[in-house]
Amino acid sequence: MTSLRYTKDHEWIRLEGDTGTVGISNYAQAQLGDVVYVELPPVGKRFGKGEEAAVVESVKAASEVFAPVAGEVIAVNTALEDAPGIVNEDAEGAGWFVKVKIANAAEIEELMSEAQYKAFLDTIE
């Protein structure tokens, strides 16, 4: 069973063993508007929790996508290079950005569950 966790910066991570798939939340893509470009890191790049993992640009703004956990990039969603709008269509599914090998599984526990994230959104909307 996969588990989805969220950050206060509106990134999500879906866990599958020691691998995490990372993207931005539906809320984040709605705030950005139409996504026109996504800059993905190279496979093999390592980053710490909270460091920039990717960049997403929309008609409104450019925004960094921060790593919810420390890890090493093992795959990137190359479909976004030709069709960045996938992020708007399916932000928490096909619009994922990177897959990472998680360096410290304990960092997952610091992230919000889906219910906690929904409650967090209620405080900012």
The helix/strand count (H/E) of the chain reads as: 4, 9
CATH entry 2.40.50.100 includes domain 3-106: yes
Residue 1 pLDDT > 70, yes or no? no
pLDDT at 123: 95
Please choose, from the candidates 8, 77, 78, the residue with its C-alpha nearest in 3D space to the C-alpha of residue 49: 8
Average pLDDT, rounded, for the chain = 95
pLDDT at 43 over 80: yes
The percent of residues above 70 in pLDDT, for the chain, comes to 98
The pLDDT-based confidence of 3 (bands split at 50, 70, 90) is confident
> Containing H/E element for 17?
none
The CA distance from 63 to 28, in Å, is 10
**Confidence band for 12, pLDDT divided at 50, 70 and 90:** very high
HEC assignment per residue over 103-116: CCHHHHHHCECHHH
- Which pLDDT band holds residue 2 (cuts at 50, 70, 90)? low
**pTM of the full predicted structure?**
0.94
Report residue 121: phi and psi, to 5°. -60, -35
Domain definitions of the chain by residue range? 3-106
